[in-house]
Structure 1
Amino acid sequence: MTISTLRHCEQSFTWGQGETILDVFLEPTCPFSVLTFNKLPALLNQAGEDRLQIKIRLQSQPWHLFSGIIVRYILAASTLPDGQQAVKKVMQSVADHREEFEFIDHCRGPNMQTTPEQLLERLVNYSKIDVREIFNQAALQNLIKWQAKYARQNGIHVSPTFMINGLIQAEMSSQDTIEQWLSKLGLDNPSNK
């Protein structure tokens, strides 16, 4: 992976251009991360793309047993020319069909019979984004390691975790309303637009 590829991938996970930066650490099959992910477009719309910048960070977690495969697939999608749209489509397809990418109680259920190849087929079928050739490239692990390193350097261990302008916000939750998020971001005053 080159520096330009890393920059492109970073852009694929960034929405908006505002001065206020919200890093959101998500595990794609976590129900609370899904709840968070589904609210992000409305948050950006209400805040204004010129005031807020959302950076999605992938927080792979070992108790979500397919996590590593799905995170790798999303990162592969981020390398495409239209990486931002590809990332959104893959993450939304996982969010919309979460039960097909997760185990009951993280340890049992029908997905015990699912192979990694079948999982990749599901990702292609639901998202219509086929990055299996990129998925197979060994260099892709550099992107995975970068995500893990960034989270560890910032003391992130669970998803979803929120960070505003480099500071972890323990009081922010997936259960919050968009209005509560805007208030915590300091973007709830329309006159600041």
Structure 2
Amino acid sequence: MALQPSLRQLIVAGSHDAPHTLDIFLDYVCPFSAKMALTIDNVLKPFFSKGGKYDGKVKAVFRLQVQPWHATSTLTHEAGLGVLRASPENFWPFSLLLFKNQTDYFDIPASTLTPIQIREKLALLAAEIIPADAVEQVKDLLTLKGSPNGGVAVTDDLKYNIKFSRQNSIHVSPTVLWDGLVAQEISSSWGEKEWTAFLESKVLV
């Protein structure tokens, strides 16, 4: 499916020109999304990477699924987009780190923090992965500037992701599309066995 050029690093597994596409809609503060993110890293990336069984055949796109009933969802996704812009090669490692630390951004732990403090906390988390100069860029990208209601520097990228989800009627995470259609059978509980069977049924090797 479509992906604007500036967000191509959202392709987290497989080659950009692979004919088959898994669009995987995940929310950084959704426990089921965290489980699926680890599966992407441990199961799908080896399948789709160079030398893997589906090398050049399938790619996986991480679609940012902001869920407003999680109070910090917008802020965490802004941070992901900030890292994508400042240090694109580290977007997926940062995403995994954020998923592993997602409980810090759950409703109750974050309830006593201001949005500015949460953004600062996310920048410190990014500092564990990305170079120091990129950390400063992320901080700048997440700083409110301009008009009183204009958002931050990555707000337009955030809007793109939200609009993409809305126009495709994606409501919850995780949701997975196979070649543009919702694959209802795919679950966050799937492991290598289930993914192997699914891909064997869909891809002519």
Output the TM-score relative to the length of structure 1.
Answer: 0.83
The one-letter code sitting in structure 1 at the alignment partner of 2:121 is R
Which structure 2 residues correspond to residues 145-184 of structure 1 after superposition, within 5 A?
145-184=159-198
Q: CA deviation at 1:117?
A: 2.3
Q: Distance in 1 between matches of 2:30 and 2:90?
A: 20
Which structure 2 residues correspond to residues 1-193 of structure 1 after superposition, within 5 A?
6-9=4-7, 11-14=8-11, 15-17=13-15, 18-41=18-41, 42-47=43-48, 48=52, 49-80=55-86, 82-83=87-88, 85-103=89-107, 109-128=108-127, 129=130, 130=135, 131-136=138-143, 138-186=152-200, 192=205
Flag the 1:139–1:99 CA change in 2: closer, same or farther, 3 A. Answer: closer
Contact kept? 1:94, 1:101, Cα under 8 Å: no
**How large is the RMSD of aligned CA atoms in angstroms?**
2.1
Q: SS of the residue aligned with 2:6?
A: helix
Contact kept? 1:59, 1:148, Cα under 8 Å: yes
Decide which moves more: 134-143 or 147-156: 134-143
Q: Residues 44-76 of structure 1, C-alpha deviation per residue, up to 9 Å, x if partnerless? A: 203434222010100000111100011111112
The one-letter code sitting in structure 2 at the alignment partner of 1:92 is L
Contact kept? 1:90, 1:123, Cα under 8 Å: no
The one-letter code sitting in structure 2 at the alignment partner of 1:12 is Q
Q: Where does the alignment leave 5 or more consecutive residues of structure 2 unmatched?
A: 146-151
Q: Distance in 2 between matches of 1:97 and 1:188?
A: 34
Flag the 1:188–1:163 CA change in 2: closer, same or farther, 3 A. Answer: closer
Q: CA deviation at 1:188?
A: 8.3
Flag the 1:140–1:124 CA change in 2: closer, same or farther, 3 A. Answer: closer
Output the TM-score relative to the length of structure 2.
Answer: 0.78
Q: Residues 142-178 of structure 1, C-alpha deviation per residue, up to 9 Å, x if partnerless? A: 1111111111111100000000100111111101113
The one-letter code sitting in structure 1 at the alignment partner of 2:35 is L
The one-letter code sitting in structure 2 at the alignment partner of 1:122 is K
The one-letter code sitting in structure 2 at the alignment partner of 1:43 is L
Q: Distance in 2 between matches of 1:125 and 1:141?
A: 20
Contact kept? 1:162, 1:172, Cα under 8 Å: yes
Q: CA deviation at 1:187?
A: 6.5
Between the two proteins, the alignment pairs up a number of residues equal to 178
The one-letter code sitting in structure 2 at the alignment partner of 1:124 is A
Contact kept? 1:28, 1:95, Cα under 8 Å: yes
Q: Residues 5-47 of structure 1, C-alpha deviation per residue, up to 9 Å, x if partnerless? A: x4132x1111312322100000011000000011112212034
Q: Distance in 2 between matches of 1:120 and 1:183?
A: 41
